[in-house]
Amino acid sequence: MWPVTFADRLAAWADLRSRCQSLDLESALSTINAWWFTTPWQPYYLHWDDQPKWPDPWQLLSDNVYCDLARGLGIVYTVSLLDRADMADAELVLAEDGSNLVLVAKEKYILNWNKDLIVNNKPKVKIIRKLKQHQIK
């Protein structure tokens, strides 16, 4: 169940990051992806054209509203704060089909695609917008 209070969400997010520090890359990415899929979903919270106004990670958790883009942004924030070399190339992308995906490890892993798994192959979708991790920090 998703934490009700902001303090509980912050604590749960800190625990997630702590657990992922010692995991291998694939396990850490799977854990991060699964955690963000537990968020309460609502369509059309964030839009790519409003990127300068996107919330920082703490505001995102405070707002507690997650469309596919917000969930992808949360995944990138999590990966960024882990500061692991094997995740340093994470990118948030908008695919032609409208999906908001997170690509990691030279696009080997795709997150925010499915709640139960991370896709372990190069994407076969056409990417129309892309933000690298350092552009979001």
Instruction: Note whether residue 28 is domain-resident.
Output: yes
Distance CA 16, CA 53 (A): 26
Answer for the pair 26, 118: CB distance below 8 angstroms, yes or no.
yes
Q: What range does the domain containing 122 cover?
A: 6-136
Distance CA 89, CA 136 (A): 12
Per-residue pLDDT tens for 23-73? 999 999 999 999 999 999 999 899 999 999 999 999 999 999 999 999 999
Reply yes or no on whether the pLDDT at 137 is more than 90.
no
Distance CA 61, CA 9 (A): 7
The token pair at 118 is 């991370």
- Report, as an integer, the average pLDDT of 8-21: 97
Three-class DSSP category at 111: strand
Domain with residue 68: its CATH number is 3.10.620.30
- What are φ and ψ of residue 19, in 5° steps? -65, -35
Give residues with Cβ within 8 angstroms of 59, minimum separation 6: none
pLDDT for res 68: 96
Distance CA 79, CA 97 (A): 24
Instruction: Note whether residue 131 is domain-resident.
Output: yes
Instruction: Note whether residue 43 is domain-resident.
Output: yes
Instruction: Note whether residue 1 is domain-resident.
Output: no
Mean pLDDT value across the chain? 92
Instruction: Note whether residue 75 is domain-resident.
Output: yes
pLDDT for res 35: 96
Pairing of strands 117-120, 91-95: unpaired
Instruction: Note whether residue 49 is domain-resident.
Output: yes
Task: State pTM to two decimals.
Answer: 0.93
Question: Domain count of the chain?
Answer: 1
The token pair at 21 is 């520090």
